[in-house]
């Protein structure tokens, strides 16, 4: 079985961006997939409400590595609210699609990012306007 991967997926898999960890992350998100056992950790550094730096470590399949790499590229420089709005569908679209059986891998990347942002909000206060104003 060899699902058809886009060139972008293969490129990000071979040359993943923002791999590693931050020394003093402002927020950390860990997400695991109980089915395949893959695990992803995302660290963010926040400055003026924006993601100034972001790193990831993924113990998982090629699609998980490619989607983590892409999600870090998409989130960098964005406000926390904008990064929170990134969905797994957005990540897959930016990669020119993923094979259907690999869509859950992009879920891991988006969820880990969202958890890192929530972790930041928990530690430093803040959150989306609808929650703050509710």
What is the SS3 assignment for 51? strand
Nearest-approach distance from CB 37 to ligand FES, in angstroms: 7
Residue 58, strand partner residues: 40
End-to-end CA distance of the chain: 49
Which 70-129 residues touch ligand FES, going by CB under 6 A?
Answer: 105, 108
Please identify, among the stretches 12-20, 42-50, 61-69, 91-99, the one whose residues bind ligand FES according to the rule CB under 6 A.
61-69
* Residue 30 engages ligand FES in binding (rule: CB under 6 A): no
Phi, psi dihedral angles at 53 (to 5 degrees): -150, 155
Catalytic member of 3, 10, 15, 36: 36
Contact 100, 10 (CB under 8 A): no
Using the rule CB under 6 A, is 33 a contact of ligand FES? Answer: yes
Contacts of 54 (CB under 8 A, 6+ apart): 18, 22, 42, 43, 44, 45, 72, 75, 76
Query: Sign of the CA dihedral 17, 22, 27, 28?
Result: positive
One of 5, 12, 60, 92 touching ligand FES (CB under 6 A): 60
In the residue annotation, 36 being an active-site residue is answered as yes
Among 22, 28, 52, 61, binds ligand FES (CB under 6 A): 61
Over the window 37 to 56, marking each residue x when it contacts ligand FES by CB under 6 A and - when it does not, the resulting string is -x------------------
- Interface contacts to ligand FES, rule CB under 6 A: 33, 36, 38, 60-61, 63-64, 105, 108
Query: Which of the residues are catalytic?
Result: 36, 105
């Amino acid at each position: 079985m060899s699902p058809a991967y886009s060139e972008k997926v293969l490129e990000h898999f071979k040359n993943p961006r923002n791999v590693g960890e931050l020394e003093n992350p402002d927020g950390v998100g860990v997400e695991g997939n109980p089915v395949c056992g893959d695990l992803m950790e995302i660290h963010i550094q926040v400055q003026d409400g924006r993601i100034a730096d972001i790193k990831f470590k993924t113990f998982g399949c090629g699609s998980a590595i490619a989607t983590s790499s892409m999600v870090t590229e998409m989130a960098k420089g964005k406000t926390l609210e904008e990064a929170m709005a990134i969905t797994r569908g957005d990540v897959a679209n930016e990669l020119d699609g993923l094979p259907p059986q690999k869509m859950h891998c992009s879920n891991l990347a988006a969820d880990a990012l969202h958890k890192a942002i929530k972790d930041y909000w928990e530690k430093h206060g803040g959150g989306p306007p609808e929650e703050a104003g509710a």
